[in-house]
Amino acid sequence: MSKGSPGYLVSTFSNRCPRCRRGRLFVESNPYRLKTNTKMHENCAVCGQPTDLEVGFYYGTAYVSYALTVAFSLATFVGWWILIGFSVQTGDRRLLWWGVANGVLLVVLQPVFMRLSRSLWLSWFVKYEPDWKNKPIEKENTERVVKEQMGNW
Ligand SMILES: [Zn+2]
């Protein structure tokens, strides 16, 4: 990885444009401003990549968000198992407490997952272009954009 080219994971997890890995995808930088936290820039402010490729583009993120939720729960389950442990003995409430803790974390992290799933989703359609300054935006990523329908899904 050359210097000055942000990595895939870093840029995706910080909700950056997948094409230039620099521009921010979301208007609001705080995921906990719940009214505006999924509002996206129409185009990347840095390279001009549209963020809404076609009508209903982000519909599939519901599945991504679900997969993230499952993966996260598995991770906390394993972590809990190693650090605290489980048993099936009566009176052992550790499994119950994991459920409660995990449930609370999922609710708290929901806005972060929602944004991350959009960022991931877009990154699967738009390739990284290190030379974004000189190369035009790929036609396949702009021809289906319906300006009037943006955000209407
Ligand atoms: Zn960009």
Q: Give per-residue pLDDT as tens, 97-119.
A: 999 999 999 999 999 999 999 99
Is 51 in contact with 44 (CB distance < 8 Å)? yes
Angle at 129 between CA 144 and CA 123, to 5 degrees: 60
Cα of 148 vs centre of ligand 1, distance in Å, is 21
Percent of the chain residues past pLDDT 70, beyond the cut: 91
pLDDT at residue 91 in the model:
86
Q: Give per-residue pLDDT as tens, 89-99.
A: 888 899 999 99
Cα of 10 vs centre of ligand 1, distance in Å, is 14
pTM for the model = 0.86
Cα of 91 vs centre of ligand 1, distance in Å, is 54
Ion ligand 1 neighbours (CB, 5 A) are 17, 19-20, 23, 44, 46-47, 49
The amino acid that residue 31 corresponds to is P
User: What is the average pLDDT across 120-129?
Assistant: 95
The values of phi and psi at residue 140, to 5°, are: -60, -20
Question: Mean pLDDT, the chain, as a whole number?
Answer: 90
Cα of 125 vs centre of ligand 1, distance in Å, is 13
pLDDT at residue 71 in the model:
97
The amino acid that residue 97 corresponds to is W
Residue burial 1-35, b: 16+ Cβ < 10 Å; e: rest:
eeeeeeeeeebbeebbbbbbbbbbbbebeebeeee
pLDDT at 2 over 70: no
Strand extents, DSSP E, the chain? none
* Domain residue ranges of the chain, discontinuous segments joined by +: 8-149
pLDDT at 146 over 60: yes
Q: Give per-residue pLDDT as tens, 16-54.
A: 999 999 999 999 999 999 999 999 999 999 999 999 998
d(C-alpha 100, C-alpha 93), whole Å: 11
Least confident stretch, 36-40, 67-71, 84-88: 84-88
Cα of 132 vs centre of ligand 1, distance in Å, is 8
Cα of 20 vs centre of ligand 1, distance in Å, is 4
Angle at 59 between CA 43 and CA 49, to 5 degrees: 15
